[in-house]
Structure 1
Amino acid sequence: MSKKGILLVNLGTPDSPATADVRKYLDQFLMDERVIDIPKLNRTLLVKGIIVPFRSPKTAKLYKEIWDENGSPLLFYSRLQAKMLQERLGDDYHVELAMRYQSPSIASALANLKAGLVESIQVIPMFPQYASASTGSVMQLVMELVSKWQTVPPISFINSFHDNELMIKVFAENARRHHVENYDHILFSFHGLPERQLLKCDHTGSYCLKSADCCQTLNDTNKFCYSAQGHDTARLIAKELNLSKDQYTVCFQSRLGKEPWVQPYTTDVLKKLAAEGKKRLLVFSPAFVADCLETLYEITVEYHEEFKALGGEHVQLVESLNDSPVFIEALAGMVK
Structure 2
Amino acid sequence: MALRTPLSRACLRTKISPATSVLSQWRRGNATVAPPVTQDATGSKGPTAMVFMNMGGPSTTDEVGTFLSRLFADADLIPLGRLQNYIGPLIARRRTPKIIKQYADIGGGSPIRKWSEHQAAEMCKILDKTSPETAPHKPYVAFRYADPLTEHMYQRLLEDGFGGGKGGRAVAFTQYPQYSCSTTGSSLNELWKWRQRLEGKRATGEVDPSGSIQWSVIDRWPTHSGLVEAFAQNIEAKLAEYPEDRRDNVILLFSAHSLPMSVVNRGDPYPAEVAATVWAVMQRLGMKNQYRLVWQSQVGPQPWLGAQTSDTVKNLMKKGNTDMVLIPIAFTSDHIETLYELDKEVIGEDAEGHEGVKRVESLNGSPVFINALADLAKVHLHSGVACSPQMLLRCPGCVSERCLEQKKFFAKQDQRLEAV
TM-score normalised according to structure 1 size: 0.86
Distance 1:298 1:198 in 2: 23
Match of 2:320 in 1: 277
Residue of structure 2 aligned with 1:187, choices 253, 271, 274: 253
Deviation at 1:132, TM superposition (A): 1.1
Deviation at 1:182, TM superposition (A): 6.2
Distance 1:268 1:141 in 2: 34
Match of 1:102 in 2: 146
Equivalent pairs: percent with the same residue? 28
- Larger-gyration structure (1/2): 2
Residue of structure 2 aligned with 1:58, choices 98, 103, 107: 98
Aligned-residue CA RMSD (Å): 1.9
Structure 1 residues 17 and 238, CA gap change in structure 2 (3 angstroms):
same
The question of whether the paired residues in 2 share the 8 Å contact of 1:187 and 1:284 is answered with yes
Residue of structure 1 aligned with 2:81, choices 39, 42, 62: 39
Distance 1:39 1:250 in 2: 29
Task: Say yes or no: does 1:7 pair with 2:56.
Answer: no
Any gaps of 5 or more consecutive residues in structure 2? 1-40, 129-134, 163-167, 203-210, 241-246, 379-420
How many positions carry a matched residue from both structures? 306
Structure 1 residues 127 and 302, CA gap change in structure 2 (3 angstroms):
same
Residue of structure 1 aligned with 2:233, choices 170, 173, 176: 173
1:121 is aligned with what amino acid?
A
Match of 1:48 in 2: 89
Q: Match of 1:319, SS?
A: coil
Matches within 5 A, 1:1-336: 1=41, 2-18=46-62, 21-40=63-82, 42-49=83-90, 51-67=91-107, 72-90=110-128, 91-118=135-162, 119-148=168-197, 149=199, 150=202, 151-179=211-239, 181=247, 184-200=250-266, 202=267, 225-244=269-288, 247-309=290-352, 313-336=355-378
Deviation at 1:315, TM superposition (A): 2.2
- Deviating more after overlay: 178-187 vs 255-264: 178-187
2:359 is aligned with what amino acid?
L
Deviation at 1:173, TM superposition (A): 0.5
2:221 is aligned with what amino acid?
F
Any gaps of 5 or more consecutive residues in structure 1? 203-223
Deviation at 1:313, TM superposition (A): 4.4
Distance 2:328 2:59 in 1: 24
Residue deviations 1:90-138 (CA, integer Å, cap 9, x gap): 2422221121112112122222223333421110111011111110011
Distance 1:3 1:257 in 2: 45
Distance 1:65 1:334 in 2: 35
- Deviating more after overlay: 103-112 vs 174-183: 174-183
Which portions of structure 1, spanning 4 or more consecutive aligned residues, are displaced by more than 6 angstroms? none
Deviation at 1:84, TM superposition (A): 0.8
Q: Match of 2:55, SS?
A: strand
2:365 is aligned with what amino acid?
D
Q: Match of 1:173, SS?
A: helix
- Deviating more after overlay: 257-266 vs 92-101: 92-101
Structure 1 residues 107 and 183, CA gap change in structure 2 (3 angstroms):
farther
The question of whether the paired residues in 2 share the 8 Å contact of 1:307 and 1:315 is answered with no
Distance 1:147 1:54 in 2: 34
Distance 2:297 2:350 in 1: 16
1:278 is aligned with what amino acid?
N
Structure 1 residues 183 and 25, CA gap change in structure 2 (3 angstroms):
farther
Deviation at 1:312, TM superposition (A): 5.2
Deviation at 1:27, TM superposition (A): 0.3
Deviation at 1:254, TM superposition (A): 0.8
Match of 2:4 in 1: none
Residue deviations 1:268-301 (CA, integer Å, cap 9, x gap): 2113211221112101011110011101111111
TM-score normalised according to structure 2 size: 0.69
